[in-house]
Amino acid sequence: MSVDLRPWLSGVPAAAADRIAAARRPLIAGHENPDADTLGAALGIAYTVEARGGRADLVCSDPIPPLYAFLAGMDRFRTDPDPDARYDLLVVCDCGSLDRIGAVRERHAELFASLPLVIVDHHRSNDDAGPADWVDPDAAATCELVALLAAGLGVPLDAAGGALAAALMAGIVMDTATFAHPNATPRTLAVSAALVAAGAPLSDISRRRYRTKPDAQLRLFGRVLDRLDTAAGGRIIHSCLTNADLEVTGTSSPHSEGLIDLLAQSESADIAILFKEHAPDATRISVRTKDGGVDATVLPRAFGGGGHARAAGATVAAPLEEARRRVLAAAERLLDGGRSG
């Protein structure tokens, strides 16, 4: 059984599709602190190029979280480009700004600046898009866009022995919480149905992402949830994750994935914030807001971040306690109808 995606293919920008179709040796970059959407989208572009006779390299500033090891192709990501490769295109996947590429872009600034560029992204806060890019905030995931791009270029979604469909399905599952979030549209569901028809293991991906956790990760969650706190009369719920938590539980930063979604289940809070100790003078924040409530991008934007209307984040240039004080004060102002900055 196949699913007809032709009603949505007219939305694929010709300029972006033409550049990717012409590429023979692209360099494909995802964002730092990678998740399933940036990884799946990057792999999806690579498989699309390779199905058309090209060869792609994938780079990511940070190591790939172990929880994605079950997906084929995760071992293809490098921390730096191949110094001997003659790249002809840079494709940036799921980055709300080019800064989100992280340290690999800084280390190879000349190379990154010299290559023709295509951005494929779905962040509403993205201000970097040019005429050959595809930024669609109505897409539930960047993987949704890549699936349409592949289909529009005549690449079957079961390419690479089914690895294409599985990678793209993983990104959609994550960014929709298996279609529980309101960002899942009829197009999202049609693309997902096409991926399942192409062999994507939807149930297994969802189980591994949301219903399977190592015992050490559960202990980490327990520590963070035990110090749960509120502000603004309960309208803000927040907690923090320290490096000591990771050391005591034998976990690493990727094991914190999913914590913010637990905080966001608060019945009374309008804003959920997770503070993560990143460096002595840097704290990462993840923000979630309720449907119909304040825009989640407003708070992180005051600290140089961005994201989506209901899920956003930033890195605050301050130690954890100072960052918590500043961000909570800004969140209270936001709820009072004032500016967050």
Residue at token pair 């994938």? 58
Question: How big is the CA angle at 209 (ends 256 and 277), to the nearest 5 degrees?
Answer: 10
Last residue within a domain, chosen from 210, 232, 252? 210
**In the numeric block, which tokens belong to residue 187?**
């197009």
Contacting residues for 221 by C-beta, under 8 A, at least 6 apart: 213, 258, 259, 262
- Amino acid, res. 161: G
**In the numeric block, which tokens belong to residue 47?**
């498989």
Same domain for 188 and 242 = no
For position 180, which CATH number holds? 3.90.1640.10
pLDDT values of the chain reduced to their tens digit, one per residue, 341 residues: 688 999 999 999 999 999 999 999 999 999 998 999 999 999 999 999 999 999 999 999 999 988 899 999 999 999 999 999 999 999 999 998 999 999 999 999 999 999 999 999 999 888 877 899 999 999 999 999 999 999 999 999 999 999 999 999 999 999 999 998 889 999 999 999 999 999 999 999 999 988 889 999 999 999 999 999 999 999 999 999 999 999 999 999 889 988 999 999 999 999 999 999 998 999 999 999 998 899 999 999 999 888 888 889 999 999 999 999 999 999 999 999 855 55
Same domain for 307 and 227 = yes
Pick from 289, 329, 326: nearest CA to 308: 289
Q: Which domain holds residue 180?
A: 6-210
Same domain for 236 and 184 = no
CA distances from 268 to 181, 218, 289 (A): 18, 24, 11
Question: pTM, whole model, 2 decimals?
Answer: 0.88
Same domain for 142 and 221 = no
**In the numeric block, which tokens belong to residue 183?**
């960002």
Domains held by the chain: number: 2
Residue 341 lies in a domain: no
Backbone angles phi, psi at 315, to 5 degrees: -110, 120
Last residue within a domain, chosen from 190, 210, 230? 210
Same domain for 176 and 247 = no
Same domain for 185 and 43 = yes
Same domain for 285 and 220 = yes
Paired strand residues for 89: 26
